[in-house]
Amino acid sequence: MELRKDPITRSWVVVGKAEKPVVAADDCPLCPGHREAGKTLLALPANGPWQVRVIPHLDPLYRIEGDPARTAEGMYDRMNLVGAHEVIIETPEHSRTLAAMSDEEIERVLIAFAMRIGDLKRDDRFKYVTVFKNSGSMAGEEWPHSHSQVVATTFVPRRVLYELRASRDWLTERERCVFCDIARQERRQGKRLVDEQGPYLAFCPYASRVPYEIWIMGEPHNSRFEIPDPTADRRDLAALLGRVLRRLVRVAPAYHMVIHTSPNERQTKGELSGHWRTLADEYHWHIEILPINAINSKSYGIKETYFNALLPEQAAEQLRGLDSL
Ligand SMILES: [Zn+2]
Ligand SMILES: [Zn+2]
Ligand SMILES: [Zn+2]
């Protein structure tokens, strides 16, 4: 397997076939007692039995050792699949979901996200650290046991690159952060707002790609998820995320969640060369949640355009009305 760059869209694509090891269906590798002898990258709380445990992915797409060795093949670019691939086990309990956890437990999961992003950003080879969660079989979750994944890559993922370009242009033209502008308008208008707590807000984006798409972000401005604003309490974020997820599971059987944070500030080459001086001003961390339901798992043929039959204003109104306890 290798990475290849599309010269038109500038997206990196993993090309090749992964070999999947055969695991017995009744054997959950994330349950306590399984592979406990294996490497633990992080366990929280620090003392006593763990609630959150981070381990290397059992079948990693990216390998931590080696050099990305970016080379040209005529006009094209390719790289070795170097990166980090980790699993964040969110609970020792096999059937407990993130939505069912207490604020304190969700906060611990968020702290684990932040600590792994911070740690992996210390590796100069990595341009970006992605934390994501596939919840539910329709979302392509690898194991039913509640977990998230961390992937550190030698490139910036396509969607983040789009966001970086747009936010840099906004900053250049208006001297303001586009994400801060979004947060202000959504709070002021309220019609797409789902919930808020402290400095954090949850809303259905104006151009939602799928029904019940939700973004969570905070004010004031902060580019890095891993370094919380001193005035913000992460417990507020945990409480808000819990309430949002409890509403969401009533309208969708599965969801994708991704943390979008600033790229590695230590990386100044390639796609980040025009950004790194202003990264802290132009980017703003946020959480994107994309629910999956039967309606949007249908193919619409034209994959390049999102088609969302549900107005975000209606989605937000419905979500606001749902019980979040
Ligand atoms: Zn399990
Ligand atoms: Zn901002
Ligand atoms: Zn984003």
Give the H/E segment covering residue 116.
Answer: helix 103-120
Per-residue pLDDT of the chain (325 residues; tens, 9 = 90+): 888 888 888 888 888 876 665 556 568 889 988 766 678 999 999 998 999 999 999 888 888 877 888 888 899 999 888 889 999 999 999 999 999 999 999 999 999 999 999 999 999 889 999 999 999 988 888 899 999 999 999 999 989 999 999 999 999 999 999 999 999 999 999 999 999 999 999 999 999 999 999 999 999 999 999 998 888 899 999 999 999 999 999 999 999 999 999 999 887 777 667 666 788 898 999 999 999 976 555 544 555 566 777 888 999 999 999 988 7
- pLDDT given for residue 252 in this prediction: 93
Residue 216 Cα to ligand 3 midpoint, Å, equals 10
One-letter identity of residue 320:
R
Residue 140 Cα to ligand 1 midpoint, Å, equals 16
- pLDDT given for residue 13 in this prediction: 85
Residue 52 Cα to ligand 1 midpoint, Å, equals 13
Name every residue whose Cβ is closer than 8 Å to that of residue 183 and which is 6 or more positions away in sequence.
201, 217, 218, 219
- Which structure tokens are listed for 52? 């959150």
- pLDDT given for residue 35 in this prediction: 62
Residue 293 Cα to ligand 1 midpoint, Å, equals 25
> HSE on the CB side for 158, CA within 13 Å?
11
Domain residue ranges of the chain, discontinuous segments joined by +: 2-321
CA angle, 208 as apex, 212 and 193 as ends, to 5°?
65
Ligand nearest to the backbone CA of 147: 1
- pLDDT given for residue 10 in this prediction: 81
Ligand nearest to the backbone CA of 282: 2
- pLDDT given for residue 60 in this prediction: 82
Residue in the block written with tokens 């020792």 = 92
Class of domain 2-321: alpha beta
- pLDDT given for residue 22 in this prediction: 56
Residue 193 Cα to ligand 3 midpoint, Å, equals 17
Give the H/E segment covering residue 216.
Answer: strand 214-218
Protein residues placing their CB within 5 Å of the ion ligand 3: 260
Residue 33 Cα to ligand 3 midpoint, Å, equals 36
Ligand nearest to the backbone CA of 93: 1
